[in-house]
Structure 1
Amino acid sequence: MRKINCFGKINLLLRVGSLRGDGFHEILTIYQSVNLHDTVAIGLTEKTGIELSSSDPSIPTDASNLAWKAAEKVIRSTGYDGGVFIQIEKRIPAGGGLGGGSSDAAGTLRLLNRLLNHPLSESQLLAHAAELGSDVPFFLVGGTALGTGRGEVVEALPDCAPFSFVAVFPEFSFPTGEMYHLLDRAKACSLVKRHENPEVLLQSRENSFDQVVSAMSEDVAGVMQKIREDGFEVMLAGSGSTFLVLDGPGPLSAVCLRLPQEWQWMELKSIPRREALGDDVF
């Protein structure tokens, strides 16, 4: 079996625009790779079909798993007539807004394509990634990148200056669909401008979903506000409930004093494209 590290991401900017005819919202986002990663191992077998296992028992191991779907796409588009066994070692919290499932899917596309001697081009892999999910294409680009459309149109940007941050994981998640509905009801969707200077966008550090946190959870909104009052910069990770503490007047780890005991947190750092997409197959 061969393995690949599948790194997580954060959104340094997430502007949600109007609802499109296809049911998705137009968004403008800046993706950033981070050092937390899952590991996907893949083996080719003579027996046809896909088998998948995960170190996290909460992760589905059937055809609903994105990594499984990614393997299906490669098999169908290449005509490979053997089988695939996938093992996922989870470190990125499931449903935490750091893109673990999407990164595993992108890693599966990359690694399986490599094991089959690269029958698919980069553009074909990106097309498959976009079909799998809005943020899956980013994980084929890595580093710092601009995302438009529903997030699947990705443009690589120069790596941003390295930084550390704290990711806070409440003991519950925010349903993504409901967060979008809250934005729609509050008429809080932003005007998405595609041609703004990316360097300016990088400095804005805004997330449209921050406007509706309190409608989903007063507990999360209250903790975020207390941390802001301590002088730290705080924003949701994606649509939450995970949130990020990006900068402040003291050690980032000091935010743990503001957190309910049952909430988890970890200190992470950004990574450049060469690390996110390095030759990490082993």
Structure 2
Amino acid sequence: MSPHAARRSVRSRAPGKINVFLAVGALQDDGYHEVATAYQAVSLYEDVTAVEADDFAVEITGPIDTTGVPVDGSNLALRAARAVAERSGYRGGVHLTIEKRVPVAGGMGGGSADAAATLVAVDALWGTALGRDELLRIAAELGADVPFALAGGTAVGTGRGDELSAALAKGEFHWVLALAEDGLSTPAVYRALDEHRDRHRADIGPVRATPVVDANVLQALRAGDAELLAESLHNDLQAPAMRLAPKLAATLEAGEEAGALAGLVSGSGPTVAFLVADIDAALEVQIALSASGVRVARATGPVHGARLLH
């Protein structure tokens, strides 16, 4: 293709997520854990622009610190594009520009959102027409959170989080997100959980190999009841994340003192998600946390999964 020829481009968007419930099963022989999680997609988005190219490349932009995001072949969005090319037999390439708003290594699935948005974008750009089911299969091969970023809404995830079943959710939930300055490594948080369980095995007792989502969580989501959901928020990774990042305890306390119904570490952290009653409460919590020096963002959920922008 001539460097002067007009190159087609496609723009897509995918949401970050909050795990409103996350139970982690026992460590298995293959080094992985089964999980049971309730995901909610929220209105903090990653935008991807895909432009026809002869090879594969990615650049990162956005209003947040993106220094920790790789731009080599390990980048999840590039891997997503290559997977679509391989599956479809497409011979060209793509240049991806990712505008990031979801915290990097923040427990909100930003990299997974990049990959999901890329799957939708390159499928449209290249006209590969793989279909939603095939894109979901590719998504599951890329990472546990990628299928949910593709699907969006509210869902229960089992297995490694990639086996999704839709969950009914009524109305709109309001969140205030406390964004930490430094990320946390997901494998490190899981290791800290396993070490804690090993040390306290006599007190904890056996951990279920196959956890389940608390029925109260699903009931609260179906009812659109923020107060009921606040009582049921849970994350097995919260305690190990707080051991690795002790400042999270003060952030949780500050948000709840400012009027949040409840707060929890999102996924493997260190983003802290505060559930609030309404937009007025969200503004109060946002102002209080900002005054204490915490970087914050407001979001609502559930929202759609990865889609093209027209």
Alignment TM class, shorter chain as reference: 0.7 to 0.9
Contact persistence 2:15–2:303 (CA under 8 A): no
Most deviating of 144-153 and 176-185: 176-185
Flag the 1:190–1:164 CA change in 2: closer, same or farther, 3 A.
farther
Most deviating of 158-167 and 208-217: 208-217
Q: Structure 1: which 5+ residue stretches go unaligned?
A: none
Flag the 1:230–1:7 CA change in 2: closer, same or farther, 3 A.
closer
The AA in structure 1 aligned to 2:265 is L
Do structure 1's residue 103 and structure 2's residue 132 form an aligned pair?
A: no
Aligned counterpart in structure 2 of residue 219 of structure 1, from 237, 244, 247? 247
Corresponding residue number in structure 2 for 1:245: 274
Give the Cα–Cα distance (whole angstroms) in 2 for the partners of residues 159 and 248 of structure 1.
16
Contact persistence 2:189–2:240 (CA under 8 A): yes
Q: Please give the TM-score of this superposition, normalised by the length of structure 1.
A: 0.88
Do structure 1's residue 62 and structure 2's residue 69 form an aligned pair?
A: no
Corresponding residue number in structure 1 for 2:238: 210
The AA in structure 1 aligned to 2:102 is I
RMSD: 2.5
1:33-52 matches, within 5 Å, as 33-45=41-53, 47=54, 49-52=55-58
Aligned-pair distance for 1:234? 0.9
Aligned-pair distance for 1:229? 5.0
The AA in structure 2 aligned to 1:270 is G
Give the Cα–Cα distance (whole angstroms) in 1 for the partners of residues 25 and 138 of structure 2.
25
Aligned counterpart in structure 2 of residue 199 of structure 1, from 195, 205, 218? 218
Corresponding residue number in structure 2 for 1:236: 265
Q: Structure 2: which 5+ residue stretches go unaligned?
A: 1-8, 198-203, 222-228
Corresponding residue number in structure 2 for 1:29: 37
Give the Cα–Cα distance (whole angstroms) in 1 for the partners of residues 35 and 290 of structure 2.
30
Flag the 1:114–1:207 CA change in 2: closer, same or farther, 3 A.
same
Flag the 1:174–1:195 CA change in 2: closer, same or farther, 3 A.
closer
Give the Cα–Cα distance (whole angstroms) in 1 for the partners of residues 96 and 289 of structure 2.
40
Q: Please give the TM-score of this superposition, normalised by the length of structure 2.
A: 0.80
Percent identical: 33
Most deviating of 162-171 and 92-101: 92-101
Flag the 1:213–1:20 CA change in 2: closer, same or farther, 3 A.
same
Residues 27-73 of structure 1 deviation map (CA, whole Å, 9 limit, x = unaligned) = 0111111111121011223x2x2121111552222211101000110
Flag the 1:102–1:229 CA change in 2: closer, same or farther, 3 A.
same
Give the Cα–Cα distance (whole angstroms) in 1 for the partners of residues 42 and 163 of structure 2.
20
Give the Cα–Cα distance (whole angstroms) in 2 for the partners of residues 224 and 123 of structure 1.
39
The AA in structure 1 aligned to 2:300 is K
Contact persistence 1:223–1:259 (CA under 8 A): no
Residues 109-152 of structure 1 deviation map (CA, whole Å, 9 limit, x = unaligned) = 11211223243232321221111111001112110011000111
The number of aligned residues is 277
Aligned-pair distance for 1:260? 7.7
Residues 57-101 of structure 1 deviation map (CA, whole Å, 9 limit, x = unaligned) = 522222111010001101111111122111111222212222111
Give the Cα–Cα distance (whole angstroms) in 2 for the partners of residues 242 and 127 of structure 1.
28
Aligned-pair distance for 1:254? 3.3
Give the Cα–Cα distance (whole angstroms) in 1 for the partners of residues 102 and 213 of structure 2.
33
Corresponding residue number in structure 2 for 1:83: 93
The AA in structure 1 aligned to 2:19 is N
The AA in structure 2 aligned to 1:219 is K
Give the Cα–Cα distance (whole angstroms) in 1 for the partners of residues 134 and 80 of structure 2.
12
Most deviating of 24-33 and 252-261: 252-261
